[in-house]
Chains A and B, each alone.
Chain A
Amino acid sequence: MIRGRAWTFGNNVDTDQIIPAKYAIYSLDEKKLGEHAMEGVPGNEDGWSKKISAGDILVAGSNFGCGSSREIAPVAIRGAGVSVVVADSFARIFFRNSINLGFPILQSPQAAEAIKEGDELEIDLDEGVIRNFTQGDEYRCDAFPPFMNELIKMGGLVPWVRERLKERAQASA
């Protein structure tokens, strides 16, 4: 169960806004990336992550994470302390990257529409339910195919590949 405060964003927030390209030089440093997360969103020039408490929830509109393929986009959001991203919809590479990293994302047009900045939320990832304590409401999330849920539960693509490599080594032994 995840509990946290909502931070809201609009539609088509692209990866250059999530983490401006100039910070790509920190691609191997999650904490440093986290410090600059969402800084490219107009109005956040002076930093966003310092306002975040660990576990807070990012809520966005449609096509969240469009633009480049940079995996540092979900990494930066995670590095800032965000526990889960809820959006009306995700751009596909951001979606893939999050699942591959085992970083929870939820698609819920209903939640994206209703949640206001500062709302206190509780998320049950297994049930796919978001509870809004501030508004006294509850939203359902779109279900992912079983393979994607399996990847998120395993902790992402890394453990999955380790398993495959092990199977191959056994098969050729």
Chain B
Amino acid sequence: MGMTMSEKILARAAGRDSVRPGDLLLAKIDFAMGHDLTIPPAGKIMREQMGAQKVWDVDRVAVVQDHFQPAKDIASAGLGRMTREFAREMGIKWYFEVGQGGICHTVLPERGLVLPGELVVGADSHSCTYGALNNFATGIGSTDLACVMALGELWFRVPESLRFVYHHKLPQWVEAKDLILHVIGTIGVDGARSKAMEHTGDAIAHIDMEGRLTMTNMAIEAGAKNGIIGFDEVTREFLEGRAQRAYTPVDSDPDAEYEKTFEFDAEAIPITLARPMSPDHTAPIDEVAGTRLDQVFIGSCTNSKIGDLRRAAAVLKGRHIAPHVRLIVTPSSAQVAREAEREGLIGIFMDAGAGWTVATCGACLGGHMGVVGAGEVCLSTSNRNFPGRMGDPTAQVYLSNPVVAAASAVAGEIVHPKEVVGRELVYA
């Protein structure tokens, strides 16, 4: 019996020839990540409770200051300090200070730290993002991370795999974000609970690495353990000159077993938004157009990489946002910010009336720099809109792709981008 790519990675990491869904394994970790909310408890549990005085491999751990950093208040300054001290005392090689890293899920792929065939864990639910690079990546808790840092190993239950096949090609205006929102809307926020989501089909070949990372990023929004995509020319090109280690891609066997296969015609996918207050509460743009907005947020590990900002800037160039709206643009990494500066995108955002911030998780989790108030309506390019995620529980949060977000900021209400820019997006 063949294995899926997720099964192959877990089998290799557990030192076994084969595994089946439901097997419990102890597996070796190739790379681990923690941030300013999860390193302080994990470090404390590892050192004080488990009694481990060093990290199993300082080359294979990343520590990123991103959630409440630059410190939003005195308490988060304390968490930042504990995170910094832990990284220094342990001698962590991949430590990313404020201003030099950004959001962990953009930083790790762009620095070539998470690679095909690897087993990657991160103490953050969106760690499933890395699977776009053909690895098995999943979110874990702080005690899990403490275990990994102490031993380099962790327990896993081999997940059942679900296969998502996308035929043809996404139409104009429709992005990877729309596709994954459409999928989540179809299967529900627990539709892939504890399972592997494997994305495949012709449409994937036409989606660039940024778009693929957006898709695997949101695996957790369907409850999945991991999201994964096969290795191809797009993966190889992305990793060229970037990969920090040698790697071995994996592919699913033709006779691999899937619990279920879902097929979608990519050509038929509309621009899709999530309505309040759940990522599976989706609607095609026609059904939500006209919703008046108070705030638009272009940011997060889901949709604030350089391509996202280029497309948003193409909408905003020479235009200004509506007077009653505020637009916050938060790049997802320092490298993205540097590139945006070089290309003149920051000036476009500022001329359009947007607030440009340092790279951080920021408003996505209602941390800082864009928390929404009672009853406010926000359109966000982030990944989840459960009640209270971005601030007050009565705030109404919609999720969309960055082009829709930028166009809607101009219109002051949710709008199809063609209403703002005409027939097509024109880059500067």
Contacts and interface: CB of A to CB of B under 8 A. Distances in A.
Contacts of B122: 69
A27 B79 contact: yes
Interface stretch (B145-153, B197-205, B242-250, B282-290): B145-153
Interface string B58-81: 000000000110000101101100
Contacts of A157: 143-144, 146-147
Interface in A18-69: 20-22, 24-28, 40-42, 45, 62-63, 66-69
B125 A93 contact: yes
A12 interface: yes
A140 interface: no
Interface in B150-168: 150-151, 153, 155, 157
A45 B395 CA distance: 14
B253 to A, nearest CB: 25
Interface stretch (B8-16, B33-41, B87-95, B306-314): B33-41
Contacts of A145: 24, 157
B320 interface: no
* Residues of A contacting B: mostly: helix
Interface string A89-112: 101110111001100000000000
Nearest to B73: A25
Contact of B150 (A69, A100, A101, A165): A165
A72 B146 CA distance: 15
Interface in B374-422: 384, 386-389, 393-394
B387 A69 contact: no
A68 B190 contact: no
Interface in A115-173: 145, 147-148, 156-158, 160-162, 164-165, 168
Interface of B: 24, 37-38, 40-41, 44-45, 49-52, 67-68, 73, 75-76, 78-79, 122-125, 127, 139-144, 146-147, 150-151, 153, 155, 157, 189-190, 193-194, 220, 223, 225, 278, 365-367, 384, 386-389, 393-394
